[in-house]
Structure 1
Amino acid sequence: MRLILVGCEYVGTTTLANAIDDWMDSTMGARFSLIHDHWKIPHTSGHPDDSTPEEQAWLLQATPKFKEMHQRHSLYYHVQANGFDNPDSMMIGAHIEDAVYGPMYFGYGGKDHRLDREVVMHQWERTILRFTDATVLVHITADNDVIRQRMHDDPHENMVISEGDIDRVKTRFAELVDWSLLKHKIAVENSGSMTDTMAEFVRKIEPFLTDADRSRTEARALK
């Protein structure tokens, strides 16, 4: 199973990724070797993020030129040929998160930039498509009021978005999901319980399960 989960900060991408990992373990007897959730500046290190407050402050103070290079190099590192030897991959945010937040908050990647992120994201996706067409882009959404409440209940250290930007950020994620060259796409609503969210995910991912996914599921059911 090859997944890229994307959506506005606080829609629950990380929580859902961990729930999917648990579901895959229970139904297929396998887990993702790593969950790559490190494209939201300044949280760009480790699985999960292990950057110190000092390191985060350093990256936030870096120039747009450095931030752009740092993110682009990270993206291409994660689509090297040997990364496709494993049948499973889980990324959170990745190229779409970079294409939303780079121009909006960090001063790089807009339409007037030589590394326009709408162009870069297609280049990056074409690299994936050279190796596999099995990747599923999962667009996670949540109601604005739910996002606001989560921001107040569990604020992230050095969060990216602000409350007044929720609509604008959600709209941009939707635009870039539509712009994506990846042909397998699903949308999952995560305003309610994780049980309901996972039920929707399991239903919608079923047509895109790979032969390896299905054979592992059958083998697991026999145990």
Structure 2
Amino acid sequence: MTSGFHSSNISNNTVDAMLNRCQHIAQSKKQDDLSLFGAPFTITVTTINKNSFKKRRRVGGAARKIPKIRHQISNAALIKFNNPDNMNHCLFFALIASLIQNICNWSRKNFFNYIHNLYGMSGRFQKDTYELMNQVGAQMGLKEYDADEWIPRVVDQWNNVNCKNQCIVKVFLFGDKGNYKPEFEYGPEDYDTPIIIYFNDIEKHFYAVKKCGRLFGKNYCLSCLCV
């Protein structure tokens, strides 16, 4: 029995992520009266130095690609807030805001107070975000944070530690241009909690997308990745 597991970077959570993947496979085989337990099995790990890859050459001969279009983004679908610390941590704030809206049964008023640091929620949004950054090893105060690097670390932290046995998260990142396909996605295929993030290339800012929001102003299917 073979299953693939991909990690873009080795981190403190890599081993936990691999074990969690094995557990998911074992659970999925229960319905066939199969079990992975009771007998030894081997996990083979292959590591590749991504810095050794040559840069892709742009050469002709391939089939014509469909040109990207500029997406018509619905502002009503975005969770808008000012970064509480006025620093470049919007990726992590957006991830936390989207997770909280998805897994917490809060009223709209309580969630509004949370992301805007009002009343009894004052300071909690920033505290939760800083705690997550510390857990995944993200240094404070950098000029920018690469989503391709940090989203996998956050998802692994949630699925293997913070939200283990509570939910299974997968993150979908959309940009200004494309063909209604995510620019980046990370997480197990048996996810039950989709986290949708939008990156505004002009503002260089990450936005969380509302749980029930329609990012493109129309219904979108995450399974088939189309409107």
TM-score bracket for the superposition, by shorter chain length: under 0.3
Higher helix fraction: Structure 1 or Structure 2?
Answer: 1
* Higher relative contact order, chain-length normalized (CA < 8 Å, sep 6+): 1
Answer with 1 or 2: which has the greater Rg.
2
